[in-house]
Amino acid sequence: MFIGKGKITLTALFFLFLSVSPAQAVPLTIETSAGTVKGEIQQALAVWIRIPYGKAPTGELRWQKPQLAEVWNGVFDATQPAANCIQPSKTGPIGVEDCLNLNIYRPNNDEANLPVLYYIHGGNNQMGTSAEFDPQSAAISLNAVIVTVNHRLGALGFNPLSALNTGAKLQDSGNFALLDIKLSLDWIKGNIAQFGGNPNNITISGFSAGGRDVMAMLISPISKIPLIRR
């Protein structure tokens, strides 16, 4: 069987087309207040996963107000799956306590000062993860930076036992999850410009329990102006 040169050339071009990756328009290595992070391109998005915004709330920091993540040395690999917070499942507890992390997604273009959509997952504040929200269509259609966040859940996130009281008003509220959210917003406010986002144009959103957490943040005095404009 004879194959003409035209077919051979066309086939070669076809495989060449399949092997071409999307052009990288966004710097993937970013300097943050805690250290350097490196992300990756996924389809049409630049992505940074599981960036720590707070110290592990374990040991003496369990049932305590969250603290900003310590500065790390070297480059943080922000391409691995995020660690999710401890929560119930059909097979028993899953997740880890060291889970104060967030994900950042943005269109793979060279634009800066993009609007930011911050998303809090649902799950009755007992379960759920930052991976609940698929950022692909939102980031592209809105031409925006999307941020999703993990925060403490269940009794580790909400626990107003008097035995835990320290005399500090915020600490003694027991609303550790809301304090986690506040801390992550502070981190975003201070760092999102490096990812091409506008720190003065952040919209906070959530699904189900995440929506209730948004309402709680609006009511709480800890998120008064200049953090949140109601």
- Among all residues, which ones are annotated catalytic? 208
Q: Which two tokens stand for residue 42?
A: 């996924």
Handedness of CA 159, 162, 164, 166 (dihedral sign): positive
Residue type, 199: P
Handedness of CA 30, 32, 37, 43 (dihedral sign): negative
Cβ-contact 116, 144 below 8 angstroms:
yes
- Helices 209-219, 176-191: axis angle to 10 degrees equals 80
